[in-house]
């Protein structure tokens, strides 16, 4: 049987300095492993990349020794904005944009992403461009107030929310916003999905609902940013979802996939006619231990085991009921009843 070579296998080989240019001819190489090999080829030889351990973590280009900020000279900012390091981050944003569009998590020109790349400077997507057709040349650089520093296209108006999140939550390195339909359905009813059903969701996401505010307004940024202390996945009522990551834009994107798959699964499970099994307190406690080790925020750290799965304004399988108007019924009137009986008796007596 042919050997399957995954992205992880190739990254392991690279990090151990092995030659990845001569893989077995009959090996099945997964699409992501293939993309990675192609990237290695594009960025010089695969052997040269193997010499750089950082290549394994996807950080093919190291960040600048000195972090720039919004007050740095314009020429330095421009050079940085056009450097291989930032170009690589622009490509990552484009890649996530294409995935968002292919999965129908964005519609029209909806959705936006950003990555903090200096003290108070942020790379972000432009306005009025579909995430399905993003290119690195579309990207913008803004300061923490939203003033555009570099890039030819105009930055998205919703970056103001991203910036407020980053200002409030120093850990937030990357932010992703989109409108995945199942998760947005929960946002439309203003309720966070019930918890304690699937492990990935518990480990990667900590979900809250923010009240509706006009998209792009300072008020929107304010209500969302306050939630970033304990939540990394925020449903914005009647709008969509925003996630953040302290690692990468890809991780912020993963939260979207995990949240959307979870919402879809529990909606389907709710139709199967059986109650859904949930985690026990100790099972949930274990998952939260893993989550903490990964450095993800969650409001449930430190809670008692018996409190961990006590969630749910809405349970899958719950049936919404429309109140039926009461059928018009004549109320019982003993006097009228007696009168009817008397008349009936008289009629019957005459018929005898």
Residues that bind Zn ion (CB under 5 A): 240
Residue 314 CB, nearest distance to Zn ion (Å)?
Answer: 23
Which of 214, 293 has the CB closer to Zn ion?
A: 214
Task: Retrieve residue 207's tokens.
Answer: 């979900």
Is 46 within 8 Å of 37 (Cβ atoms)? yes
Residue 34 CB, nearest distance to Zn ion (Å)?
Answer: 33
Rg of the chain on CA atoms, in Å:
29
Active site residues: 158
d(CA 32, CA 55): 15
Residue 158 CB, nearest distance to Zn ion (Å)?
Answer: 6
Which of 156, 195 has the CB closer to Zn ion?
A: 156
Q: Beta strand pairing status for 28-29 and 4-5?
A: parallel
CA 336 to chain centre: 67
Residue 205 CB, nearest distance to Zn ion (Å)?
Answer: 18
Give the containing element (helix H, strand E) for 345. Answer: helix 334-351
Is 127 within 8 Å of 154 (Cβ atoms)? yes
Is 194 within 8 Å of 315 (Cβ atoms)? yes
DSSP 8-state assignment for residue 120? S
What pairs with residue 135 in β-bridges? none
Q: Among the residues of 244-296, which ranges form H helices?
A: 249-269, 281-293
Which of 239, 291 has the CB closer to Zn ion?
A: 239
Euclidean distance between the first and final Cα of the chain, in Å? 100
Q: Among the residues of 5-158, which ranges form H helices?
A: 7-15, 31-42, 46-50, 74-81, 84-102
Measured in degrees and rounded to the nearest 5, phi and psi for residue 136 equal -55, -30
d(CA 153, CA 90): 14
Task: Retrieve residue 8's tokens.
Answer: 């992880």
Which of 180, 240 has the CB closer to Zn ion?
A: 240
Which of 105, 262 has the CB closer to Zn ion?
A: 105
Residue 195 CB, nearest distance to Zn ion (Å)?
Answer: 25
Which of 216, 317 has the CB closer to Zn ion?
A: 216
Residue 125 CB, nearest distance to Zn ion (Å)?
Answer: 12
Residue 179 CB, nearest distance to Zn ion (Å)?
Answer: 6
d(CA 144, CA 147): 7
Which of 68, 134 has the CB closer to Zn ion?
A: 134
d(CA 286, CA 290): 7
């Amino acid at each position: 049987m042919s050997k399957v070579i995954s992205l992880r296998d190739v990254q392991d080989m690279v990090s151990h300095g092995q030659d990845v240019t001569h893989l077995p001819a009959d090996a099945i190489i997964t699409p992501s492993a293939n993309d990675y090999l192609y990237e290695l080829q594009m960025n010089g030889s695969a052997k040269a990349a193997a010499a750089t351990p950082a290549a394994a973590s996807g950080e093919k280009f190291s960040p600048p020794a000195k972090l720039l900020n919004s007050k740095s000279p314009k020429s330095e900012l421009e050079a940085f904005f056009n450097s291989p390091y930032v170009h690589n981050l622009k490509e990552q944003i484009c890649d996530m944009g294409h995935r968002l569009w292919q999965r129908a998590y964005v519609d029209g020109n909806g959705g936006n992403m950003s990555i903090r790349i200096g003290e108070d400077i942020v790379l972000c997507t432009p306005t009025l461009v579909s995430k399905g057709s993003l290119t690195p040349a579309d990207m913008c650089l803004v300061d923490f107030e939203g003033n555009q520093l570099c890039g030819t296209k105009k930055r998205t108006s919703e970056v103001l929310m991203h910036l407020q999140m980053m200002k409030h939550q120093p850990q937030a390195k990357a932010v992703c916003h989109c409108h995945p339909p199942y998760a947005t359905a929960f946002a439309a009813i203003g309720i966070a999905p019930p918890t304690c059903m699937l492990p990935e969701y518990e480990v990667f996401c900590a979900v809250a609902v923010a009240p509706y505010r006009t998209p792009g307004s300072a008020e929107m940024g304010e209500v969302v940013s306050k939630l970033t202390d304990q939540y990394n996945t925020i449903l914005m009522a009647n709008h969509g979802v925003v996630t953040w990551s302290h690692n990468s834009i890809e991780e912020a994107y993963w939260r979207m996939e995990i949240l959307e798959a979870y919402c879809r699964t529990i909606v389907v499970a709710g139709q199967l006619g059986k109650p859904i099994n949930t985690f026990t307190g100790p099972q949930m406690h274990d998952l939260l231990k893993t989550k903490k080790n990964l450095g993800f925020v969650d409001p449930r750290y430190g809670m008692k085991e018996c409190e961990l799965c006590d969630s749910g304004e809405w349970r899958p399988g719950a049936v919404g009921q429309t109140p039926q108007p009461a059928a018009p019924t004549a109320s019982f009137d003993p006097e009228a009843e007696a009168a009817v009986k008397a008349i009936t008796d008289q009629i019957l007596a005459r018929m005898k």
